[in-house]
Structure 1
Amino acid sequence: MSQTAALPSSQKARGEVFLSRTKKLGSMSSPALEAIGLSKTIKSGERTLTILDGIELSLNAGDTLSIVGTSGSGKSTLLALLAGLDTPTKGKLALLGREMSDLDEDARAAWRSGQVGFVFQSFQLLSGLSALDNVTLPLELAGADLGEARDTAQRLLEQVGLAHRVKHTPRQLSGGEQQRVALARAFACQPKILFADEPTGNLDGATGAAVIDQLFELNAEQGTTLVLVTHDEDLAARCARRTRLADGQLHEH
C-alpha cells in the first residue's frame, strides 16, 4: 500500500498534490518554497502547546514576502521551519525543489549550502575574523578559488559602503556596520533564497533604514527570493507580498 493511500482523503489529496509538485525537481515552474500543512507543537509539562497550525505557503523565484506578528507569535519558529533549520511536527516543506522531510540535519545543511542565505538580528559574525574574511568564508566553504572569493567579498563590502573597514573585526565595527557585513556575507554566494529574521532589531531607526535599503538593492540585483520576518509594518510593506502570523496561522494581506 502506498503512503498516501493510508491517509484520510483530505490529507491524501494534499499529500498527492505535494508529491506531484516536488517531482518537478529543477523545473523552472517549481516554487522556490512550498509549505503544506506545517504545524509545530511543543510539550510544556502535561500540556501540548501549538505554536504553528497548518501553515500553507508557496513562493516563486524572486518573490519578496514579509511575515509580521506580535512578539511570541511564532515568527522565528516559522522562519526556522521554512529554512529547514528545524523540522515540523506535521506537514511538509519543499525548499528549492527538494522535499526536506526525508533529510537529516546534515543533509538539510548540505542542500542549503550555496543556495540559501541568512541575515539575523544578532549579526552572527565570527569575532576573530576581519570583515573581509567573514564575507570570504562562505565562498571558500563553497569551493571558490581564494583569490576570486576575496575579490567578491571586497566588491560586496564596497557595495555596502565598507571599503574602508574591510580589515576591521566585528568588535571594531558599529552595529550598523556589522549588519552590513552580514548582508554582504549573506549575498556572497548569490543565494537563490534569503531568510532575514528581524534584520533591524538591534539597530536605531536611521541605521536600520540604511541597512534595509542595501538589503533590497542587493536582493533586486541578484533576483533572490526573500522571506523577511519583522515586527516593523513599514519594513513589511516594502515586500511585494505581506502576511501576518496570528494564532498559529498565516494570513495574507
Structure 2
Amino acid sequence: MTTNTTPLIETIGLGKQVSSGSGRLTILHQIDLQVAAGEAVAIVGSSGSGKSTLLGLLAGLDRPTAGSVRLAGQNLADLDEDALAALRGRLLGFVFQSFQLMPTMTALENVMLPLELAGRNLSHAQRIAREMLARVGLVERSTHYPKHLSGGEQQRVALARAFAPGPQLLLADEPTGNLDADTGAAVIELMFAMNAEQGTTLLLVTHDEALARRCDRILRLVNGRLAD
C-alpha cells in the first residue's frame, strides 16, 4: 500500500438527510474517514445502511446536508457541477452493479467514452480502448452492443471503461450483484488484478464479507453510522 501525507479521500462530520412523508430521514450520521492513496477499502453493511449514499457523496454525485468531502485535497463543496464533472473525469473510475453501459454504443465505443470526454483524440482513444478490451479478454467482442453481451461480459466492458483513463480512484458499487457466483468471482479477480497493475485506490461497496476481506481495510456502516 502506498501512503501519502494528504489522504486521497477525507470526510469530516459527513451527513445526509432526505425528506420523507413523516419529516426528515437521516441516512448518514457524522461520517469521519480517511482513505490513503493506493489503499483498497471495503464499505460493508446491510441493505439500507447508507453504503451507496456514502459512495455517491464521495464521488460528488450527491451533495451532503452536513459536513464535508475532500477529494485529492479539493473540497467538493467549493465546486460547481461543471467543475465536479471535470474532477470526476480526471480522477475517478466507476463500476456499478447494473453495468451502466450505453445501449446504443458498441463495447469499443463504451470504453472510448471517458477517454473522449477527457479530450483524447479519436485514434488515441481507440487504441487505448482496444488495449483495455484485450486486457479483459473481449477484444473480439468490440463491435458488439451491450444487448448482445452476457452479464459477465458487460461487467468486463465496464471494468475496461473504468480503467481506460488510468483513474486515481476506482469506486465499485456491488460490482458482482447481478452476476452468478462463478462469473462474479472471475470479475473480482480481474478487478483486483487491474487495480494492482495501475496502482489505483479502490473503494468497494459490498455486502459480501469474503470479498471485503480481500481489501486492506473494512469500514462497516450500521444504520448510517461507522461502527467502531
* TM-score, length basis structure 1: 0.86
Show CA shifts across 1:82-116 (max 9, x none): 11111111001101111011222222111111211
Identity %: 60
Total equivalences in the alignment: 225
The residue aligned with 2:18 is 42
SS of equivalent residue, structure 1 residue 218:
helix
The answer to whether 1:126 aligns with 2:102 is yes
In the TM superposition, 1:219-238 aligns within 5 A as 219-238=195-214
Quote the offset at 1:41 in angstroms.
1.0
For the residues of structure 1 that align with 2:31 and 2:56, how far apart are their CA atoms?
Answer: 13
The residue aligned with 1:24 is none
The answer to whether 1:177 aligns with 2:153 is yes
The answer to whether 1:157 aligns with 2:133 is yes
Deviates more, 1:173-182 or 1:151-160: 151-160
The residue aligned with 2:31 is 55
- From 178, 181, 191, the equivalent of 1:205 is 181
Quote the offset at 1:147 in angstroms.
1.1
Show CA shifts across 1:132-184 (max 9, x none): 11101111111112112111111111111112211111011000000000000
Partner amino acid, structure 2, of 1:102: D
What is the alpha-carbon root mean square deviation over aligned residues? Answer: 1.1
Partner amino acid, structure 2, of 1:153: A
Gap runs ≥5 in structure 2: none
Gap runs ≥5 in structure 1: 1-27
SS of equivalent residue, structure 1 residue 113:
helix
State whether residues 48 and 223 of structure 2, in contact with CA within 8 Å, keep that contact through their aligned partners in structure 1: no
- From 178, 193, 214, the equivalent of 1:217 is 193
TM superposition outliers: structure 1 runs of 4+ over 6 Å? none
* TM-score, length basis structure 2: 0.96
In the TM superposition, 1:83-94 aligns within 5 A as 83-94=59-70
Quote the offset at 1:224 in angstroms.
0.6
The answer to whether 1:135 aligns with 2:111 is yes
